[in-house]
Amino acid sequence: MRTESTLGVIFFTRKKRNNPEKLDIYVRITVNKERSEFSIKRDIAVCNWDIFRCRAKETSENLILFNTYLDDVYAEVLNAHKQLHSERKLITARAIKLRYFGEDEERMTLMRAVEYHNKNINNALRPGTLKNYFSTEKYLKEYLREELKTDDIYLIQLNYRFIVNFENYIRTYRPKTARRTCTNNGVMKHMERLMKIINLSLKMEWLEKDPFRNYKLRFVKNERGYLTERELRSIEETSFMTIGLQRVKDIFLFSCYTGLSYIDIKGLRPDQILLGIDGNQWIHTKRTKTNEPVKIPMLPKAKEIIGKYREEMIHTGELLPVYSNQKTNQILKEIAKACGIHKNITFHVARHTFATTVTLSNGVPIETVSKLLGHTKLSTTQIYARVLQRKVGEDMQDLIRKLRNKQEVETSSVPKSLP
């Protein structure tokens, strides 16, 4: 809103309470007879102040520089007035003062933006994913406290240097308790989460310039662990006297033959096993991670495992007896050692095994595998399920046979020339 207003800006002084020989300097802004005042946090000797010019007496180099500073303050106050005028805002003495100090509009801080993001997406993300955002928030708090010696900063203070320094902080972070440090991909996931928070800030118009504009995430493609056919058979053929080991073995194999993750198996109920159109039993569930519906026809070995726990199922209401994730992974390492498997086996290896050894290497199309795994994009399946070298060889042999047959047909169809 533009108004016809009169503006006055002067410097005036007040005696210091603890030193009568000194004067504190203030600025007085007057707009349409309304005043607003503030201290510039500077003082001067009484004998060096010219009350008529409202400036210091230029009797030394320091006093000349002092007046230059006053001129800069005067220019900034006029610039604040100019900004309000160009933005068509109501011009008052208080509005000019607040604009001078940058307090006329509440500026969003980084940690408040993080808090807003985490509170407003908690219904859209699963608890495990949301937990990762809280982990990133913890790194940000420690970085601000240890490196910048502050609890928070304004979003407008973020720049490329902040982004790079924060990445380096996570890479070199040494936890106080004994635990694994972040790998490259772990660091990139933290940076990716911060990038999403900054993108939200841009959409909310809390930030005008994207500090990630010249930054690129650098993920390293890692080989996904899986069991070979021989290793899978070794686990199947090994029996364990301990109930815990036998149960974890069964749940792990169930995942190998269904492709379901740990959390999806843990949530399975008997009423989710339904008869399919092919007369076979199907598992009807939703992926906890993506909420994507999944329908999986059960393989015979998966049925056998369910049959072993049918009586227990009646009492517990759960399809299978699943231990905690930590305990399950701990027992899996014992199982791998007992079976002579020299790999770092976790429960998620079963999902990779289903995609690679059980389905794809046996000729199941990757589109079908993607549907069974509950992926929304085929590219995700290509990360999990690799085409084994043996399968590549078999496919190329099929191609060679087809080309040979085609050549033979073409040769036999050519008419022979008459003598």
If asked whether residues 304 and 238 sit together in one domain, one would say: yes
Contact 162, 211 (CB under 8 A): yes
pLDDT band at 222, cuts 50/70/90? confident
pLDDT tens string 119-141: 887 666 667 678 889 999 999 99
Q: How far apart are the C-alpha atoms of 258 and 245, rounded to whole Å? A: 20
If asked whether residues 76 and 196 sit together in one domain, one would say: no
Count of residues in the chain = 419
If asked whether residues 115 and 93 sit together in one domain, one would say: no
pLDDT tens string 353-364: 999 889 988 888
Nearest C-alpha neighbor of 349 from the set 262, 274, 277: 262
If asked whether residues 93 and 125 sit together in one domain, one would say: no
Residue 214 included in any domain: no
If asked whether residues 35 and 138 sit together in one domain, one would say: no
318 against 376, higher pLDDT: 318
Residue 416 included in any domain: no
Residue 399 included in any domain: no
Residue 212 included in any domain: no
If asked whether residues 192 and 237 sit together in one domain, one would say: no
Residue 86 included in any domain: yes
Q: In the chain, how many domains are there?
A: 3
Is the pLDDT at 416 greater than 70? The verdict is no
If asked whether residues 279 and 376 sit together in one domain, one would say: yes
Q: Among the three residues 100, 134, 166, which one is the final residue of a domain in this structure?
A: 100
Q: Among the three residues 203, 237, 272, which one is the final residue of a domain in this structure?
A: 203
Chain centroid to CA 392: 36
Domain CATH number, residue 245:
1.10.443.10
Residue 210 included in any domain: no
Lowest mean pLDDT among 74-88, 173-187, 275-289: 173-187
If asked whether residues 242 and 328 sit together in one domain, one would say: yes
Contact 99, 31 (CB under 8 A): no
The pLDDT assigned to 110 comes to 94
Q: Average of pLDDT values for 71-100?
A: 90
**Burial profile 313-345: b = 16 or more Cβ within 10 angstroms, e = fewer:** beeeebbbbbbeeeebbebbebbbeebebeeeb
| Residues 6 or more apart in contact with residue 394 via CB below 8 angstroms | none
Question: What is the CB-side half-sphere exposure of residue 227 using CA atoms within 13 A?
Answer: 28
Q: Average of pLDDT values for 105-131?
A: 80
pTM to 2 decimal places? 0.60
The pLDDT assigned to 154 comes to 87
197 against 104, higher pLDDT: 197
Chain centroid to CA 52: 61
If asked whether residues 260 and 387 sit together in one domain, one would say: yes
The pLDDT assigned to 417 comes to 54
Q: Average of pLDDT values for 285-294?
A: 85
Is the pLDDT at 19 greater than 70? The verdict is yes
pLDDT band at 208, cuts 50/70/90? confident
If asked whether residues 152 and 61 sit together in one domain, one would say: no
Is the pLDDT at 148 greater than 80? The verdict is yes
What type of residue is 191? Answer: M
Radius of gyration from C-alpha coordinates of the chain: 36
Burial (CB count within 10 angstroms: exposed 0-12, middle 13-18, buried 19+), residue 24: middle
Residue 345 included in any domain: yes
Contact 115, 75 (CB under 8 A): no
Contact 306, 223 (CB under 8 A): no
Residue 128 included in any domain: yes
Q: Average of pLDDT values for 234-260?
A: 94
If asked whether residues 274 and 369 sit together in one domain, one would say: yes
Q: Among the three residues 61, 78, 100, which one is the final residue of a domain in this structure?
A: 100
If asked whether residues 355 and 385 sit together in one domain, one would say: yes
Q: Which domain holds residue 96?
A: 7-100
Is the pLDDT at 390 greater than 70? The verdict is no
Q: Average of pLDDT values for 65-71?
A: 96
